[in-house]
Structure 1
Amino acid sequence: MVNETMVTFQGWIGTDVTDRYVGEAVVASFRVASTPRKYNKLANGWVDGETNWYTVNAWRSLGRNCMEALKKGDAVVVHGRLSTQVYEDEEKRRFQTMVVEATSVGHDLNKGTSFFTKTTVGAGGEADDGALREFNAELGIGGPQISSDGQALGDFVTDEPSKEPAA
């Protein structure tokens, strides 16, 4: 889109990851604290800058995956569209908060390790790779295997002799 502010930042999840539904679409939401660090020559060391707090909203499959994979205290990298929301409390005080509609979220591997599990989405919108596993099993040990995007992964090498007739 034109004139949208895209951001990428790293930080720490400071709240529990919660979900809600907008129509039939799931939205996972959480807050991330991002504190820039700069080297200060006078102090001869790194100093923390002002901490920025972002509300992150992740929609649909990204939201479901965030609910499964993320928790308070995790180090993350977030990429998405930045906007500012302004609201008033009961006493008419105005507040504003930065909101990121995430297009990508992942663990920050500079801070720790993570384990990736690929999901596929079935007709009901839920992750389901059972049909794909069953199809690959029918192809046999030495046969090609199919990925969730429909691409053949190639033949797997086995110690079993080929059962194809000799030419």
Structure 2
Amino acid sequence: MNDTHITLHGWVGGEVRHRDVKGVSLSTLRVGVTPRVRRNGEWADGETTWYTVTAWRALAERVRDSVVVGDAVIVHGRLSTRTWTDDKGQPVTTLEVEAVYMGHDMSRGTSTFRKAQRPETVDGDLEQEVAAMVAETAAEAPAMTSWGPTGAVREPAA
């Protein structure tokens, strides 16, 4: 897959909107990124670029519970663009980031971390079944190191 991944740090510019989509949590928010640029020998704010950030599942719930307007955040995720037509018939292009990781920007302030509770397993027998499958296939797999299978020497192609 040829996705473009980016990491950005900026400021939350609106309320986090949260909803369930077919039983899956989704949080959406706007993050503004304003670069510092040098103009006439002095530093000034550049033009702000706005991103629509989406987070799914557990990340969506944690964003909903942790992030508020004005927070400095770091977002890492998949960048995409979406073009649509506004009420006046003008084409509009938005930058969207589907967050993979997101958190407070500790270079801009402080934060308190609380480890999330691990979800309870639905079926204890499933864990045992998976463990048995792993053990069964592990016996068939060759021994591996960070350099690949041990004992297998490949000759370079002539």
TM-score when scaled to structure 1?
A: 0.68
The equivalent of 1:65 in structure 2 is: 62
Secondary structure of 2:113's match?
Answer: coil
How many residue pairs align between the two structures? 122
Q: Does residue 15 of structure 2 align to residue 16 of structure 1?
A: yes
Residue from 95, 99, 103 that aligns with 1:106: 103
* AA matched with 1:51: T
Instruction: Give the alignment partner of residue 115 of structure 1, picking from 107, 112, 115.
Output: 112
Unpaired runs of 5+ residues, structure 2, are: 123-158
Deviation at residue 46 of structure 1 after TM alignment: 1.9
**How do 1:3-82 and structure 2 match up within 5 A?**
3-40=2-39, 42-43=40-41, 45-82=42-79
Q: How far did 1:122 drift?
A: 2.2
In 2, Cα distance between the equivalents of 1:96 and 1:39?
A: 27
One-letter amino acid matched to 1:13: V
1:93 corresponding residue in structure 2: 90
Equivalent residue, structure 2, for 1:139 = none
Deviation at 1:123, TM superposition (A): 4.5
Distance 1:121 1:98 in 2: 33
Runs of 4+ that moved beyond 4 A: none
Q: Give distance in 2, aligned partners of 1:93 and 1:36.
A: 27
- Select which of 72, 81, 84 maps to 2:81: 84
Q: For each residue in 1:53-73, what CA deviation from the matched residue of structure 2 results, as whole angstroms up to 9, or x when unmatched?
A: 000000000000000100000
Shift of 1:120: 2.5
In the TM superposition, residue 124 of structure 1 has moved relative to its aligned partner by 8.9
Aligned letter for 1:56?
V
| Structure 1 gaps, min length 5 | 126-167
- Secondary structure of the residue that 2:116 maps to in structure 1? coil
d(CA) in 2 for partners of 1:116 and 1:99?
Answer: 27
TM-score (norm 2): 0.72
CA distance in 2, matches of 1:22, 1:124: 23
Cα distance in structure 1, aligned partners of 2:25 and 2:81? 22
Give deviations 1:136-160, integer Å, cap 9, x for gaps.
Answer: xxxxxxxxxxxxxxxxxxxxxxxxx
Higher relative contact order (CA 8 A, sep 6+): 2
Shift of 1:89: 2.3
